[in-house]
Amino acid sequence: MASVAAAAFSALARVAPPSARSTKSPKAKARNVATRATPVVQVVAVEAPLSPQQLERVGNPIYTTLETLLPDYAYNFKIGDKVSGKVFHCDGKGAWVDIGSKAAALCPGNESSLETVRNAGQVFTVGDDYEFEIIKDDDGEGVLTLSVRKIQLEAAWERCRTMQAEDTAITGVVLSVNRGGLLVEVEHLRGFVPQSHIAIRSLNREELVGQTIPVKFLEVDEEKNRLVMSNRNASDVVAGEGLGVGDVCKGIVQAVKPYGAFVDVGGISGLLHISQISHDRIVAVENVLAPGDELKVLILSKDGERGRLSLSTKKLEPSPGDMLRNPALVFEKAEEMGRIFRERVAAAEAAAQAEEGVGGELKGMAPVAAEASEEEA
């Protein structure tokens, strides 16, 4: 380029050769000036040489077609957009995803799941498609930041709102205990169960940590990140579901009172009254039972609205007084004695119905009914 310009300037500055200054008449000189054409210099701009990659594209129909189609597929992504993308690589930074943008997008490890995971490789399978939400704009190199955790978090809050509206019970894991109540995890969200809404009676609440308890939602506020639940309202629905009068089940003595013992039966509290512990007379409940004792009890009655059970070990004694002399035998024979009790109750009910319908034709069943009535007492 420089040599061309220099030649041009040289041509412009060039003067006529000495032979042109010969002794011609003024008229001849005038004719020469009039007829002599003014020299024209053309300056040509020479472009820098093309790289091998550029030379490859010149005239290549594939690149020509691609350049034509790219404007139709120009995506304008923004924060909050939900996009679908294919994971093509996982490393220490997270999962690299093709979402159709100019550069690959990144889903960091801590945004890979609502659960705690060590790395993105635990969550994603290379080659599979997933849904993401854009949470951070271009980092200057064209890389967008994605999140699966945010989508799962929104879905978890929505499920909690639905369960609150439908008054549905769910189970949660106790994470910790404090003076105010329990910190419980449900749907991978942390919620609080106030002291007044804990149905489980326990002298040592720390023992509840790690255990699963039933809860219902009292308050679900995603904006304030506030989740308040009740164990008391859910106890009869979840833990007591399927329990009926006459059923035999295991329980743990939670507290001993002068009038009886409170027994936890699968998360629902039941009262084992002093009169229902044994056929033999009991002077002091603490002489027979202590907190932490494991029992098998028979359900005498069930108050669904208040979430309470009335229990009995007296009905499970093979012989009167076995709860005092041989409680292990009562535990062993509980199911058998429970079956006998239910059969006697069914016979008594059948006899009562027969008496109402036929009068005194089935009086022969009266002794059985009377025996079952005595057992109920």
pLDDT of residue 67: 55
When pLDDT is averaged across residues 278-295 and rounded to a whole number, the result is 91
Q: Do 98 and 137 touch, CB atoms closer than 8 A?
A: no
pLDDT of residue 103: 80
When pLDDT is averaged across residues 94-111 and rounded to a whole number, the result is 89
Highest mean pLDDT among 46-60, 137-151, 227-241, 354-368: 137-151
pLDDT of residue 309: 83
When pLDDT is averaged across residues 321-326 and rounded to a whole number, the result is 92
Q: Considering only residues 12 and 116, tell me which one the structure prediction assigns the higher pLDDT.
A: 116
| Structure tokens belonging to residue 29 | 């000189």
When pLDDT is averaged across residues 129-152 and rounded to a whole number, the result is 88
Share of the chain above pLDDT 90, in %: 37
Report residue 312: phi and psi, to 5°.
Answer: -150, 135
pLDDT of residue 301: 85
